[in-house]
Amino acid sequence: MNRPLHVLLAALALAGASRAADLVPLVTELPKPLILGTPVPIKVDNLEAPRTGKPPAFLVPATAKNLALKRPVTSSDPSPLLGDPELVTDGDKDASEGCFVELAGGTQWVQIDLGAPAEINALYLWHFHSQQRVYLGVVVQISDDPDFISGVTTVYNNDAQNLCGRGAGKDPTYIETHEGRLIDAKTTKGRYVRLYSHGNSANPANHYIEVEVWGTPSK
């Protein structure tokens, strides 16, 4: 027997409410603001206007956690100028000396091995943020291929000039702050996360303080 329409609508509403109840705001601990020196004007293309007020809530499954914490990190620079790639997932987001890895100029990347395939909902990215600057050619990709040759999904790309050779992107450039950059990964599946950059508005080097990868292991 067919169910009455009002019963079907009630069932759909209940299912929707159940799914919504499984989602919670993503909450992470932010470092203290630390701005050193006198801010200088930044002139780059497609620069996002500074946000005012609190950031909007970003919902993730209640089971999501930071899968990148303490996971191994490799980089394109075999001999970083400062620090070690493992600083990228050590849980410390402070911008003081000793808390970041500095890679050489030009196109560089850091890569995180999550240890197993996962459904990734969001990423948090902190470049050097104790000085107002913009990192250039920021591209974030996810894959099950450690060499990022096949099965690659791009979840963020503000590299309008294709400096990193991963294709031209249309996402906005932005000024670094202690709040980091929250990136919607749209429940992309993958084991490896690779983050590119091509210097910054203050100098040619590439800096990474911390990366969080929020999601759940794939079933």
Domain boundaries, the chain: 5-217
Q: Does pLDDT of 10 surpass 80?
A: no
pLDDT in tens, 165-211: 999 999 999 999 999 999 999 999 999 999 999 999 999 999 999 99
19: helix, strand or coil: helix
pTM of the model: 0.87
Residues 6+ apart with CB under 8 A from 207: 100, 101, 102, 103, 127, 128, 135, 200
Q: How many CB atoms lie within 10 A of CB 7?
A: 10
Architecture of domain 5-217: Sandwich (2.60)
**Alpha-carbon torsion 35, 41, 47, 50, what sign?**
positive
Tokens 């470092």 — which residue?
31
Q: Does pLDDT of 7 surpass 90?
A: no
Q: Residue 190 has which token pair?
A: 């993958």
